[in-house]
Amino acid sequence: MNGSTVFRLFLALLVSGSLPAHLRASEKGPALRSAQDSIRTYYLPEIVVTATRSERDALQVGRSISVIPGNRLNGSLFQSMGEVLSQHEGIFVVGAGQNPGAVQSIFMRGENSNHTTILIDDVRITDPSAVNNAAELSELSFANLDQIEIVRGSHGTLYGSSAIGGVINIITRKKLDPGFHGDAEISTGMFGRGTSTFSQNLFLNYTTPSGLYVNAAINNRTTKGMDATVDTVSTPGTFQNRDRDGFEKHDLVGKVGFQNDEWDVYASVHATDHRIDIDKGAFRDDDNYVVDFTRSLFTYGASHRVTERLRVKYVGGYSAMERSAVDDSSVVDALGRTDQTYVEANYRGSIHNNELLLNMELEGAQLMMGAGLYRETMGSRSYFYSRSSFGEFESSTDLDSLGLSSSTGSLFGHVDLDGKIIAEGAKRFSLGLGARWNNHSGYGSNATMEVSPSYRISDQSLVYASYSTGFNAPSLYQLFVPNADFVSGITRGNRNLQPETSRSYEVGLKYRFQDKVSFNLSYFSNEVRNVIEYIYLWDKNVGIDTLGNDWMRNDFRGDTYLNLGNLITRGFEASLHIRLSEELLLTGAVSLVGGKLRYDPSTLDLRQTAGHHVQVYNNGAFITKAVESLGLTRRPDTFHASLAYTPVQRFSARLDLKHAGSRMDVYYNSDLGPYGALGTAGVEEYTLLDLAARYNITPQLSLNLRVENVLDARYLEINGFTTRGRGLFANVRYSF
């Protein structure tokens, strides 16, 4: 935590807020279950299902939770899901302020980007072909969105692998009021010189009085972006080949189902396709590098209320994704000469997930039991060609023939016990207990557990605590990629990898009085053991100080993945929602996070290292003794505040303040060892100011305006990559 922590904490206690209204803070309660939404709404309790996998009032759940109703994103003019999520305490999304379509990585409660579970309708979304299997937020869409639920902290008991930092569940719409409904939006804008963005969104729904419904949504977006990398070639007369990086995204969602008091049955199809111009890396522009990404997601489920106290639910999904990257020769001088290289890579993955759940309401207890089977596959092909004065060189790889896959079977359960079953005087006390057993086809079995006591001080307030364990399974790439060093024979993939495991503590306080005042406070501490690190191996017979000094000698003995580090994070989160008057609403949120990494040579897996010197690529350290690295990269303290003004029914305006503290970023440092490794450099803090306004021309037709980064602040999220300047966006929306 940096030096401005005390100031931010003071601000948090005064003006930070729970953020359902942060996105369109002029609203005052629930929208109708139809396509239309009013500029004014009124308070209803937040009902969540993600925290316990059963419907509960968020105030009565002993976890830190945020709920974002989908209707509050209508006309909001956010450029990505990452922007929406990063407005909430405990979440920082790297890339949310960069060129649209840029890679977005989520850091929740200071955990690694692959330690957050992303769900669509309870079905996990990942990229099995990626090195760390993390989901990429830029693929997510607002299409057919009903609600987003955020549950912070370890939730491995209910959701399995990767739910260490938290869980984000994107829930799509089901039935609406009987009849035909729809809305259409056209949005446009710019966020810097020469940039533009244009999108069209259409949603249609038909619901019968019996509960049968059909809906569909289409989103299209075309963006002419800015140069995504920082320009370091500023000398007059020097050749520059800077290009603008564009983005195209298309989403199609269809859903059919039936919902009444007893049954909830549905099937849906999500198809996304986007194309983005990218660069080689920080400060390294590329005029001919393009990535195409597609995902087809099929989700399905059925829920039946057998009795008033018993419900059986089945959820499942199948997802197939493909990522294709082509980097053609780039122009390197004013004469039009190129670097004469060509790279083509294709990555594919699939996920198949099925779960059966049983929810029972007993006297003084709510019980959930479940079983699931999760399977993922990956494959890839790549081709490299170069030509120089030394001749031509070609190489290729093909992992498709290996049939790389893994499967995980699980049994899990959770029970919430009311204190009244123990004694009448303990009726305000409740206790949550959970356990999960997993069997992975690669590493075997492991288990997680949870204990969550809470106490209702009053009908408006709750104090809670939790202790939970979690895990993150190794990715298919980390386990099985066959690349081997030609001297040692050590493979990059390590079939002996074990899952990363976590232990998490949390204490918190919630208070809510209708829509007048609400606040949440929480402190958390988390330790992830057996963190999987990418490492270099160097000849054990050569001293570390002399590695790479003899060009006639090959000291390298391969690269691989090891369970090596311990990641420790601690932090504080606060939020507060205050209705100052009928016209004014003040909200905001603050997050303070700090941490460190520890490495211990006693944990080295000699089966994989063969006793060679181990160098961690993430910081260049050689693990010859215990090493401790203080601080976290790309995880700043953050503060958000919003002031909304609704003088009349038809008009509202909002002022948003966003602050990210100073932090460390990583960069490639060629001086760290013979091959180089990642060093760290500071990134300055920044503060952004946004303005938004909405006017309802008619009950069905609305105009939305947003000025982003009003002061045109120059800032960085990642060293070497540009961020958006002052932006002006407009949206027209018609609902029926």
Q: What CATH number corresponds to the domain at position 393?
A: 2.40.170.20
Consecutive 10-residue averages of pLDDT for the chain (736 residues): 42 38 35 43 65 85 89 81 92 92 92 95 94 91 91 94 95 94 95 93 96 96 92 63 88 96 96 92 86 96 95 97 92 78 95 96 92 96 91 91 94 93 84 96 96 94 96 96 94 96 96 89 97 96 92 94 95 94 94 94 90 94 90 93 94 95 92 92 95 95 96 93 94 94
DSSP 339: -
3-state secondary structure of 12: helix
pTM, two decimals, is 0.91
Spatial separation of the C-alpha atoms in residues 575 and 642, rounded to whole Å: 12
Quote the pLDDT of residue 26. 35
* Residue pair 465/497 in contact by the 8 Å Cβ criterion: no
Cβ(371)–Cβ(410) under 8 Å?
yes
Whether the CB-CB separation of 470 and 163 falls below 8 Å is answered with: yes
534-555 CB burial, b ≥16 within 10 A, e <16: bbbbbbeebeeeebeeeeeeeb
Please state the domain count of the chain: 1
What is the phi/psi pair of residue 560, to 5°?
Answer: -160, -175
Question: Tell me, what's the pLDDT at 43?
Answer: 46
567 sits in which H/E element = strand 556-579
Q: What is the distance between the alpha carbons of residues 15 and 13, in angstroms, rounded to a whole number?
A: 6
Q: Tokens 């057996």, residue?
A: 530
Asked if residue 62 lies in contact with residue 453, where contact means CB atoms within 8 angstroms, the answer is yes
Taking the C-alpha atoms of residue 164 and residue 528, their distance in angstroms, rounded to an integer, is: 8
Q: Which two tokens stand for residue 395?
A: 């190489």
What are the CA-CA distances from residue 419 to residues 13, 293, 422 (Å)? Answer: 31, 51, 5
Q: What does DSSP assign to residue 58?
A: G
Chain-centre distance of CA 88, in angstroms?
12
Closest-CA residue to 477 (of 369, 561, 353, 421): 561
- Per-residue pLDDT of 404-433, as tens digits, reads 999 999 999 999 999 888 777 788 999 999
Kindly list the distances between the CA atom of residue 174 and the CA atoms of 73, 144, 147, 177, in Å, as whole numbers in the listed order: 17, 9, 11, 10
Is residue 601 a contact partner of residue 613, using CB atoms and an 8 Å limit? no
Residue 419: strand, helix, or coil: helix
The pair of three-digit structure tokens given for residue 238, joined into one six-digit string: 């020097």
Contact predicate 123/64, CB 8 Å = no
Q: What is the pLDDT of residue 423?
A: 78
Q: Is 179 helix (H, G, I), strand (E, B) or coil?
A: strand
Q: Give the N- to C-terminal CA distance of the chain in Å, as an integer.
A: 49
Strand partners, 638: 591, 660
pLDDT in tens, 222-244: 999 998 888 766 656 556 667 88
Range of the structural domain that residue 354 is part of: 5-735
User: Counting beta carbons within 10 angstroms of the beta carbon of residue 401, is it exposed (0 to 12), middle (13 to 18) or buried (19 or more)?
Assistant: exposed
> What pLDDT, on the 0 to 100 scale, is given for residue 405?
96
Q: What is the pLDDT of residue 50?
A: 87
Q: What local confidence, expressed as pLDDT, does residue 237 receive?
A: 59
Report CA 621 to chain centroid distance, whole Å: 29
How many CB atoms neighbour CB 611 within 10 A? 11
